[in-house]
A and B are shown apart, each in its own frame.
Chain A
């Protein structure tokens, strides 16, 4: 039988943990709301960009752009987006599992990883993978520059397949692995092909305006396409951030519930022990008195 004092001490410590987990839950809830807002406010940009691409579609030769040309995927680059911090359930584990399975299934001459997030960096560093670049600690203050910094080198190395100098840097296909925010209790790991750009989801029925283009339709088109790729990375970062907060919120909610249960159990045992002690003491007094008589 554990002593009363031990039980009390344990209850206290569980209570402290519960306080921490419930505070973390609330923090995550606030952050989640902010991340969701960020996703929402990124939407008009995407919508507008598609509209512009739509209206450019007839003017420029859509398939001629280098980012749309499909090559034999010899050199593959995979962007893995995880979180910087743990304590968010299976969020990070899911990403690693999926990423490793996906990487195992790829047949390529060379495979490079772009790592976003401390957790996946730590994981892949310990394994035999070639990490091309790391982006750590960007989620605290996430901005579009981060997405651009990830996407731009890839776009550049996709552009020049035959340049001699950049031979080892060329890329034939780029994939993106991240957690998608479905809802608060569900996050799905998705694998997306970033480059070559998949057929753009253009709607051919909308009425097209007859614009005057400056400098020219092709040039605007060529300028927009890389932004489209950057935006996709940005979108993935936002999704992942929201999913992370949601996962942490759920995990911390569960932890708080478990702590409450544990406290209840401990309190019950504590009361039992106390009762037992009282009973024993009474018994001792009574039997002591009996002995004297």
Chain B
């Protein structure tokens, strides 16, 4: 049995992460799920949220938005539309994006483009969460 997982996070603009890790936790549509080496083959849709992966004692956070994960006993592939490593996220921008989405949600209620605004909101929230988690870590 392998002791490590190969994690690959792929987006349409390139491979964001390719690393050997010990544990991955991802935001599945039916709840967060954790993956350790030797997991059964598994495929899940992902929602906007933060993904965590651990190498030794270091936790890393990535904000992901829409996609799915393919889990094999020795490999995890995350296919997402966007993936941002916590260290690269501009917290201010994420917060202002969240605010904007909130305002729009109040303005229009559940009307036109509600899905899009909600997606924007979730995405901003995911970014903020990822940054905050990463800060707590260090």
Contact = CB atoms under 8 A, between A and B. Distances in A.
Given A214-B30, A220-B68, A52 B10 contact: no
Contacts of A148: 81
A209 B41 contact: yes
A147 B11 CA distance: 13
Interface string A72-105: 0000000000000000000000000000000000
Interface residues of A, number: 27
A224 B69 CA distance: 12
Given A41-B14, A44-B15, A231-B12, A214 B42 contact: yes
B41 A45 contact: no
A45 B15 CA distance: 8
A49 interface: yes
A291 interface: no
A33 B81 CA distance: 23
A38 B13 contact: yes
B40 interface: yes
A211 B75 CA distance: 13
A223 B79 CA distance: 12
A52 B13 contact: no
Interface string B29-51: 11001000000111111000000
A234 B12 contact: yes
Given A52-B43, A55-B43, A211-B41, 5 more contacts: A44-B15, A48-B70, A148-B81, A214-B28, A234-B12
A223 B33 CA distance: 20
Q: Decide if the interface of chain A is mainly helix, strand, loop or mixed.
A: helix
Contact of A212 (B43, B77, B82): B43
A48 B77 contact: yes
Interface of B: 10-15, 28-30, 33, 40-45, 68, 70, 72, 77, 79, 81-82
Interface string A147-167: 110000000000000000000
A213 B44 CA distance: 6
Interface in A193-248: 209-215, 219-220, 223-224, 227, 231, 234
Contacts, number: 69
B12 A214 contact: no
A55 B42 CA distance: 12
A91 B78 CA distance: 37
Contact of A42 (B12, B29, B43): B12
A144 interface: yes
Interface in A55-76: 55
A44 B11 CA distance: 8
A223 to B, nearest CB: 6
B84 to A, nearest CB: 13
A224 B41 contact: no
A143 interface: yes
Contacts of B68: 52, 220, 223-224
6 contacts: A44-B10, A144-B11, A144-B13, A211-B41, A212-B41, A227-B81
